[in-house]
Structures are given as structure tokens and as C-alpha cells.
Structure 1
Amino acid sequence: MIPNQLTVFFMTIYLLESLTIIVQSSLIVAVLSREWVQVKRLSPVDMILISLGVCRFCLQWSSVLHNFCSYFNPDDDLWYIAIIWEFTNTLAFWLTSLLAVVYCVKVSSFTYAIFLWLRWRILRLIPQLLLGSLMISCVTIIVSAIKHYIKSQLILQLPRNITKTETLRTFLEKYYIGQHLAMLFIPFLLFLTCTILLIASLCQHLRQIRHHDTGHSNSSMKAHATALRFLAFFLIFFTSYFLTIIISTKYILKHKTSWFWAYETIIYATVSIHLTSLMLSSPTLKKVLKVSCYGPKLP
């Protein structure tokens, strides 16, 4: 299949974005792995970030392979690559929501009993929560594999009854879309709740600081304002990613259209920006980026 000029344009942008995401994910994993080897420990946030880096790396490769193979070989059944993409995408949502929970519990100034209890327990539970996110995401593989098996086996057994075949195919597609959206909506709702609570907590603390006019309070106000801008930025782009995934899932676009590649460009542009914001949230990664951009500081 020979693509038109508009399709080639969007495919090129998508490919550049994919390479950027792969490099970003590799950098996160490499830097934090080196830190792990040198210091023999990782902070809870860095544990989530290194898991998210591996996840995004696999997610982007599966996306590239599935999209280009489906475009140039539309007759091939690439269900196994689609399952890998679905698994890593669901896991990325859960890891991002877990990161939001950790930030909310550690940074927020709420004094409710549930926050105090979580603040005491959350850091110890990170390995178990990472394992739980992995197990929940594995459910998507099981459901997707069952759906594919039913489509490939039962539908083939009803070749003469076109009505039953189409009814079964429609039911499977609606069930699959509903299950996929539910698996993404739950972690996104958790992420949204924690981020809004954290923004509310910072705004409340910022109002308290404004009553003081000391130099220390001015520096604190600047730090809180920077944190609020970062959170708003983080919220906007992850929400944009969620909405584009929902739209592309509910209104399935064919690979041969330019609109499909335009949607892919929008989706992974938000992913790249989201990864950049995550890298800037880690002191270790931020330090490496500063050294890479400006060089080491001379004594």
C-alpha cells in the first residue's frame, strides 16, 4: 500500500515521537539503574519511575510494530502485538496513578487520620503495590486472549450463518471496548482524585504562607507556585492522553486513513510531554539532564 503525502507526514511525525519516547524511557531506566547499583537502594518514586520507563519502552515498540505491520500487511493477524500494547498501556495507567498516590500522601498537608496512616505505610508498600499493578494488568492479557480465541474459533464455526457471525462479532467488540475502558478509567480516576487533592493541599498551604512577609515565606511561595504549575501541566497532559485513548478506542479508525496516523501523533505527543514532566520530577534524572545540557560544574 502506497501512502499519500498527508499520511506520510503524520507517519513521519509519529515515528519521530516514538523514537523520542524510546530514548526517554531508556534514559530513565539507565540512569535509575545506575543509581540503584551505586547506592544499593531506590526511593519509592524512583522505583515507580524505573518500572514506568520499562513499561513505556515496551509499549512504544509494540505500538510501532503493530501500526506499521498492520499498515503494510493488512491481512496479517497481529493480535499478539496488540495484546502486548494493551497490557503495557494498562500497566502504565496503574503506575502513573500509583505515582500520583505517593506524591499526594508525601507532599499534601492534610492531617486526616487516613492520610497520616497512609503516610506511614505507603513507602513500605511500594513493592507490593507494583506487583499488584502488574497482576491487575495481566488480567487484560487473559481477557484479550479469550476474546481472540472466541473470534478465531467460534466465528469460523459459523461461516454460513452471516447474521449470527456478525452478532457475535459485534458483541465481542462492544464487550472488549467496555472492558478496556473500565480497566483504564479506574486508575485514571485514582490519578485524578490524588492530583486534585494535592493541588488543593498546596493551594491551602500557599494561602497560609501569604500571611507572612519574610524572605523565607517568599521563597516558599515561589516553590509552591512552581509545584502547582507542574501539577497543572502534569494533569492536563495525562488527561489529554486518557481522552485520546478513549476516543481512538470507541471510534476505531482504520490504519489506511490519514486520520488514524493523526490520532497516533496526538496520543504519543502527549506521552512524550508526560515523560518529560516525569523526568523533571525526579531529582536524580533532573541532575543528569542538567549535566547533559550544561556540563558538570567546575569547582
Structure 2
Amino acid sequence: MIPVQLTVFFMIVYVLESLTIILQSGLLVAVLGREWVQVKRLSAVDMILTSLGICHFCLQWASMLNNFYSYFNPNYVFWSLSIAWDFLNTLSFWLTSLLAVVYCVKISSFTHPIFLWLRWRILRLVPRLLLGSLLLSCVTLICSAVRNHIKIKMISMEHFPRNNTMIERLKMLLQKFTLSQPMVVMIIPFLLFLASTILLMASLSQHLGQMQHHKAGHSNSSTKAHSTALRSLAVFLIFFTSYFLTIVISFMSILYDKSSWYWVWEAVIYAIVSVQSTLLMLSSPTLKKVLKLRCWVLETA
């Protein structure tokens, strides 16, 4: 058990992190939405980032409501909040993997026919891929509904001593289901993200090595840009992988006692999400251009 004061501290930290993510996501959607209204079009990357911003905005509200309700009312299962969180979390995984694929196809210098074909088709396919990500995430709704149904049945049977055998069977079923769900619904988009990011980093590293080998006089800025891109990709890869692992561990519930370490674990998870959300914002050229323009206007005012 940890002291009550420390629990309250991590609860406050979690709330501050959640509000930061909500503000970041809201800013991203507002800026890109305004750009879409003015220009009547968005690039493929900005379309995915807008979808991710909306997803993260809704996901964080669902997380806050679900965490506080489940913590202060542990004997109740909140169907709608739990299912909403599972669905939005899975959708964020698919959208992040889609963003990684688009960046890999657009930026990488591979000349394999598959890459050339994808480079020609990927931008037209983004709206359909966004719809496909939404439909694939709907599979989570079935898994979440089954898991919550088992929880509710277990809670209702706890008051009947004769049903101990049935309760134990349900607990074993719930444990197996809880362990298998993240592997089934999140590992595919995560592996897709992992493969795309590693391929992109390999391509950039290869190109950077070629530029350094030739040592062209005009390549200093390009070399610096490639090095910065590689560092950013490495940081995002580390944080997204950390988020995936923390979610899996959270489902398995093996590293913490939910009653005492609950808010510590939530603060750690959403500290990672906050950094990840910041990196996503910085990956939008449109958002960076608008922010630079706003800063310039404020300095000249």
C-alpha cells in the first residue's frame, strides 16, 4: 500500500496529463479543421492526424470518466465507458500504424516495385484506409462486450456461496480473455507500425550515409534534417512501444495492486501518451506553419 497523500498526488498528475492531451488534441483538430474549411482540402498526413486528434480527444475523456468511476465504484461495471475506451484505444493504434505506413511510403528511398506501386496509390487510398481502420476497430466492441458480460455475471454470483465453482471458472475464462484481447486487437497494428518505422529509419540511415560519403558542399542542411528526422523517429518508436507494453501489462494486471498502485500506473501510462501526442503535433507541417505564423504575429505586435 502507498500513502493516501501519494495516491492523491498521482491522481492530480494523471488529471493534469489528461487535460494536456485534451488541449493538444483539440488544438490539432481546430487548426487542421480550419485549414480544411479555408483550403477545402487536406493532405493525406493531415487527414490521418486530424482523425488521430479526434480519437485522442475522445479517448482521454473516456479514460478519465472510466478510471474515476471504476476506482470509486469498484463493484460496478460501466459498460459504455469501458467499451468506448477499448474501441478508441484500438482505433488510435490503427491510425498511428497508418500514419507510419504513409510516412514510410512517401519518404523512404526504396525502389522495390511494391514501394513504387504503393507510393503511387497510397495518397488516394487514405480515405478508404481510414474507414477500414474504423471498421477493424469495431471488432473490439465484441471483445469488450463479452469481457464486461463475464465481469457482471461474476459480480452477481459472488453473493451466492454455492456458485464458487462457477465463479472460479468465470475468473479463469476472464483471465484468458483479458490476456488474449490486447494480443489479438492491438498486436497487428503495432507490428505494422514497427515494421514501417524501422524501414523508414533504415532508408533514412542509408541515405544519410550516402550523403556523408559524398560530402557534397550543399548537403550540410540535408544531413542535419536527416539526423533530426532519425532522432524524432527513434524517440516516437520508443514511446509508442512503451505505450503498447504498458497497455498489455495493464490488461494482464501483474505488476501492480489495483487498489494501491492504480493512479501511479495511470500517471505513467498517460505521461507516455502526453509525449506521444506532442510528437504527433510536431509532425504536422500545417500545424507548425500556423504556430510559427502566430508566434511571428505576437512578436511583431
Report TM bin, short chain: over 0.9
Q: Which structure shows the higher helix fraction?
A: 2
Question: How many Å separate the matches in 1 of 2:153 and 2:247?
Answer: 29
| Greater mean deviation of Cα atoms: 280-289 or 119-128 | 280-289
Judge conservation of contact 2:22–2:56 (CA < 8 Å) in 1: yes
Please state if 1:79 is matched with 2:79: yes
Q: Which amino acid is 1:256 matched to?
A: S
| Greater mean deviation of Cα atoms: 213-222 or 235-244 | 213-222
Please state if 1:240 is matched with 2:250: no
Q: Percent identity?
A: 65
Question: How many Å separate the matches in 2 of 1:291 and 1:249?
Answer: 43
Cα offsets for 1:60-117 (capped at 9, x unmatched): 0011011112222333321321111110000000000000000000000000011001
Report the count of equivalent residues. Answer: 296
After TM superposition, the structure 1 = structure 2 runs for residues 1-299 of structure 1, keeping only pairs within 5 Å, are 4-152=4-152, 159=160, 160-251=162-253, 253=256, 255-257=258-260, 259-293=261-295, 295=297
Q: Which runs of 5+ in 1 are unaligned?
A: none
Q: Any idea what SS the aligned residue of 1:203 has? A: helix
1:178 is displaced (CA, Å) by 0.4
Q: 1:168 to 1:255 in 2, by over 3 A?
A: closer
Question: How many Å separate the matches in 2 of 1:36 and 1:109?
Answer: 30
Cα offsets for 1:212-266 (capped at 9, x unmatched): 3333111111111111111111111111111111111112655431x21111111
Structure 1 stretches of at least 4 aligned residues deviating more than 6 Å after TM superposition? none
- Aligned-residue CA RMSD (Å): 2.1
1:40 is displaced (CA, Å) by 0.3
Q: 1:294 to 1:71 in 2, by over 3 A?
A: farther
Q: Which runs of 5+ in 2 are unaligned?
A: none
Cα offsets for 1:237-296 (capped at 9, x unmatched): 111111111111112655431x21111111111111111111111111112333444545
Q: Any idea what SS the aligned residue of 1:216 has? A: coil
Question: How many Å separate the matches in 2 of 1:155 and 1:222?
Answer: 59
| Greater mean deviation of Cα atoms: 41-50 or 70-79 | 70-79
Q: Any idea what SS the aligned residue of 1:240 has? A: helix
TM-score where L is the length of structure 2: 0.92
TM-score where L is the length of structure 1: 0.93
